[in-house]
Amino acid sequence: MNKRSTFNFFKHILLALLSGILVGLTVGIYQKGLQYVFSFSSIMFSNKNWYLIVVNLIIFITLSFVNNILILKFKSIDGSSIPLVEKVIERKEDKEKLKLIDVPLTIINSYISTYSLFTLGSEGPSISIGARIGKSVNKLFKENDDLVNIGLSSGAGFGCAFLSPLSGIVYSYEEGLHKFSFKSLIFGVLISFSSFFTCFLINNIHLISVSSISFISINQVLVIFIIALLTLLISYYFKKFMLFIRMKFNKYSSNLFIKFRSFIFFILFFILGYFIFNLLGNGKNIITFLSDDYYLSSIKNEYTFIFNNIYFLIGILVLRGLLLAILGNGKVSGGIVIPLMCIGGIIAKISILLFNNNINNNLLLISNENEEILILFGMILFFSLINNAPFTSLTLFIETLFISSSFKIENITIIFSSFSFYLMIIVILIMNLINRYLLNSKNIYEEFIKVDSIKFN
């Protein structure tokens, strides 16, 4: 290796470390801030005093105008910005559109969505924040054409959102760069792990986890196939519906109701927030409630029945699906990954109830203790089918289990000795193969780009 090659190698190491630290710092602060924003929103909606309702209404009106102004003036922060990131990496869009000024604006608008209880998540903005920081570091190091660093930095944003560095690396290649390179792997590891450790120092709350490592027995594995088939069916039609909504929004974009639909969102969620607060937001509340093992004492009686009733769950599934299909198509800022996982968790819970209701042998019933991992399986599977991301999903699934195990030998032994653990992995891969090659389903963001390219008269 000559002097120039050695210099460039160490230069890229420094570039990777700086990118990772800045991504971790920014996403960590952003994620930490979200907790305070949601807590403040919870306080405002839980208090039914008329004067606080008026104050909350004034806040909503103000936020609706701020959101509209930001979206109109800075179009690149509309939605999650991930389609823009993908187009930049594929050289279909000018990389200069990934502006550093959009980072604080994305954070502000995501906070607005969080306070307003929109069914959107933080992982999309985290990915776009990572990509923008990667592009800015490129500029600092005069590596303006280094699209690989942008892709790796976007993956680091994903990894920071879930505090899952390995899934961040896999996301970089599967969803960002769309190809693997050993040459760039060392830089991907540096970016992902430096961002993870930096983010963890600021925010150590995992978006998804399980409270206990407990798998079903071989005699109960039928429920895995029920979850898989229902998830495959619903994910296929949900994606079709979401793309249909997007096409209609684009076709009638000049219509006043479509153009300024965000104001309707604010009105709707202000009203819903006072009636079904815990069913709104990114879906973390629902994911928590789906397991019977853990309820907040103040709302236990209210939600125990709802989350053990198939008909109520179907209603929540339809509501969340409809809201996500509409909100996920722009005019507000936020990601769709956690909301998608929430839908997958609901499907898994419905499948468990269907299984239990049709089993006569009490020994085969799925216990509350076993539900959590099955719900996690449904969450991961639905996300993987919508995003065509089997390897990112599998990595996130396995990493979540290991993190939830606290790396205790007895828990790790349970994971590796469980037949259903391996079956879930195989089923995720098979369902993704069916989804991609038999149903011809593509990544949702690729589909977004395709729909956006259609010209309407």
CA dihedral 429, 433, 434, 440 (to 10 degrees): 140
Cα 267 to Cα 447: distance, rounded to the nearest angstrom: 29
Nearest to 418 by CA among 220, 150, 217: 217
Using the structure block, give the residue that is written with the tokens 């990667």.
134
Mean pLDDT of all residues in 159-163: 93
User: Which range is least confidently modeled, 141-145, 171-175, 216-220, 270-274?
Assistant: 141-145
Cα 26 to Cα 408: distance, rounded to the nearest angstrom: 31
Q: What values do phi and psi take at 81, rounded to 5?
A: 70, 0
Residue 29 class from Cβ within 10 Å (0-12 exposed, 13-18 middle, 19+ buried)? Answer: middle
Interhelix angle 147-162/123-140, rounded to 10 degrees, is 140
CA dihedral 176, 179, 185, 187 (to 10 degrees): -40
pLDDT confidence band for 457 (50 / 70 / 90): low
Mean pLDDT of all residues in 409-420: 91
Cα 408 to Cα 234: distance, rounded to the nearest angstrom: 36
Residue 322 CA, chain-centre distance (Å), reads 17
Q: What values do phi and psi take at 121, rounded to 5?
A: -110, -175
pTM of the model: 0.94
* pLDDT, tens only, 296-343: 444 445 566 678 889 999 999 999 999 999 999 989 999 999 999 999
**How many Cβ atoms are within 10 Å of 423's Cβ, its own excluded?**
18
Q: Return the bridge partners of 335, or none.
A: 121
The yes-or-no verdict on residue 3 having pLDDT over 80 is: no
* pLDDT, tens only, 14-68: 999 999 999 999 999 999 999 999 999 999 999 989 999 999 999 999 999 999 9
Six-digit token pair at 28?
């960590």
Cα 377 to Cα 227: distance, rounded to the nearest angstrom: 9
Q: Which residues of 149-163 are buried (b: 16+ CB within 10 A; e: fewer)?
A: bbbbbbbbbbbbbbb
Residue 277 class from Cβ within 10 Å (0-12 exposed, 13-18 middle, 19+ buried)? Answer: middle
User: Which amino acid would we find at residue 6?
Assistant: T
Six-digit token pair at 401?
């289990």
Six-digit token pair at 76?
């690149």
3-class DSSP state of 335: strand
Q: 208: which DSSP letter?
A: S
Q: What is the C-alpha R_g of the chain?
A: 22
User: What's the start-to-end Cα distance of the chain, in Å?
Assistant: 58
